[in-house]
Amino acid sequence: MSKEEAEEEDVLDLYPGIGVTGTSAEGASLGKLKEGQTKALKRKRDIVFDHDDEANDESQPSSSKRTHTDNQRNAIDKLTRDDYQCTVCTDSFRFDAIIRLNCKHFYCPKCLKDLFIHASSDMTLFPPRCCRVEIPLSLIGDAMTPQQMEDFTDAVIESTTEKRTYCSNAQCGKFIPPMEIDADDAKCGRCGFVTCVHCRSPSHEGECLQDEALQSTLALAARQGWRRCNQCRAMVELNVGCYHMTCKCGGEFCYLCGVAWKGCTCPQWEEDRLVARAEEVAARQPTPAAAENLQAPQRRAPEIQEQLRENHRCQHSRRFRRLDAPAGQPFVCEMCSCACSKFILECRMCQIAVCERCRLNRVR
C-alpha cells in the first residue's frame, strides 16, 4: 500500500460513511467526488491534530520541560567538572578520573597507587585499607608496573609468614619468601644477596656467630635503652607512651623485656614517661585560657595523665579532633614521623596524634 493510500485509509477510519459504490460513469464521478472529499478531510484532520498538539503544549508548563532539560545538562556538566577532591592530596578531579572506595572516600590514581606501593614495604599498612575497609587490588592493579605487582605479591606472602627473613643487604632489605630459602641460606630475588636465616647477616661458612660490629651496636642499644624487634630484629627506640611497641614489620612486643606483647608481666608504662607525655599533649592543645595564662597546660596535665592511664589500650573508635599547626611549627605524626605543616589529627581517648594518611590507612 502506498503512502497516499495509507493516509486515505486513515481519513476514512476517522470519517466513516464516505465510501463510494457504483459502476461505470456513475462510479467514476463518484470516485472523483470521493477523491476530493478525501483531500479536504485530510487537510481538516491535519489542522485538527496540529491544533491539539499546540493545545497540549500550552497546557503543559514550560518550566517543567526546562527543568528536565536543565537537570540532564547539570548531570552531564557535573561529571565533566573537577568537583571531586582526592582525600589525600586534596586535588580536584573529574568523576571519571578519580576512584571512589566503598567507604565513600575518593582517591586519585596516584595516591591510591602510592598506598599500594608503600604497603608492599610496610606491613603496618598491609593490606591497603581506608577506614579499616580493605581496598581491592583490582581498583589500581592495571596502573602498577610488573615490578610493583611482584612486590605486592611478595607482601601478601610476607603478611602470612610467621618467621620472616629479610635481605641483609643494607641497600635492599627486601623480604625473602620461604620458597627462596635453602637450609640456612636465603637468597634475595632482587639483588642476589644471600642471608643467614639465623643471624640475619650475610651468609657465612661454619657456625653462625655474632660479629663484633653487631655486639658493639647491641651494647650501645643497651646503654641507650633501645630494643630490637622480636620478629625482624630492627632496632626500636621508645620516646613517649607505654611499653607496647609495634614495629613497621607488624611485630608487637614489650619494650622492657622484648618478648611478644602480652607474653610478660612487665608494667604497662613508666610514670616519668607518662608525666612527660601528658605535658606534651597539654602543650599542643591551645585554648583561650592557655593563650591568656601560660600555666594552663600544666594545670591540664594531671587530667590528661588519668586519660592516658585509662585508655592505653585504645582502639581509636571515636572521632579524631583536628589541631591546626601554628605558623612555622609543623606537627609530627606519631606513627610515620612525617611533618604535618597544616594540621594533625588527635585521638580523643588516648591522645595519639597522626596524619590524615595514617588515620585512614594505618589505624586498626
In one letter, which amino acid is 189? Answer: G
All cell numbers assigned to 204? 657465612
All cell numbers assigned to 102? 566503598
Provide the CA 52 distance to its chain's centre, in angstroms. 57
Query: Rounded distance, CA 186 to CA 337, Å?
Result: 31
The SS3 of residue 48 is helix
pLDDT at 35: 57
The answer to whether 258 and 227 are in contact (CB under 8 A) is yes
Query: To 10 degrees, the CA torsion angle through 75, 81, 87, 89?
Result: 170
Q: Which residues pair with 339 in a beta bridge?
A: 332
Domain ranges of the chain: 3-53, 93-196, 315-364
Query: Rounded distance, CA 152 to CA 159, Å?
Result: 11
All cell numbers assigned to 231? 620478629
Nearest to 141 by CA among 132, 153, 130, 133: 153
Query: Rounded distance, CA 356 to CA 86, Å?
Result: 12
Backbone φ, ψ for residue 128 (5° rounding): -55, 130
Query: Rounded distance, CA 228 to CA 244, Å?
Result: 13
How far is it between the farthest Cα atoms of the chain? 131
> Which CATH number fits the domain 93-196, given the four candidates 3.40.50, 3.30.40, 1.10.150, 3.30.43?
3.30.40
**H/E stretch holding 283:** helix 271-283
pLDDT in tens, the chain (364 residues): 554 555 445 444 444 444 444 444 444 444 454 455 555 545 544 544 444 444 444 444 444 456 777 777 666 666 566 688 999 999 999 888 999 999 999 999 999 999 999 999 899 999 999 999 999 999 999 999 999 999 999 999 999 998 889 999 989 888 999 988 887 899 998 899 999 988 888 988 876 766 666 678 878 888 888 888 888 888 888 876 778 888 888 888 998 888 888 888 888 777 777 788 888 888 887 655 444 454 566 667 777 777 777 777 777 777 888 999 888 889 989 888 899 988 999 888 888 889 999 988 988 7
The SS3 of residue 23 is coil
- Looking at CATH, the fold of the domain delimited by 315-364 is given as Wheat Germ Agglutinin (Isolectin 2); domain 1 (3.30.60)
What DSSP letter does each residue of 65-88 carry, written as one string? HHHHHHHHHHHHHHHHSS-EE-TT
Provide the CA 344 distance to its chain's centre, in angstroms. 18
pLDDT at 144: 95
Count other Cβ atoms within 10 Å, centred on residue 156.
14
The answer to whether 228 and 212 are in contact (CB under 8 A) is no
All cell numbers assigned to 252? 608487637
Q: Which residues pair with 323 in a beta bridge?
A: 344
Q: Which residue has the cell 621508645?
A: 238
**CB neighbour list of residue 288: distance below 8 Å, 6 or more residues apart:** none
**CB neighbour list of residue 6: distance below 8 Å, 6 or more residues apart:** none
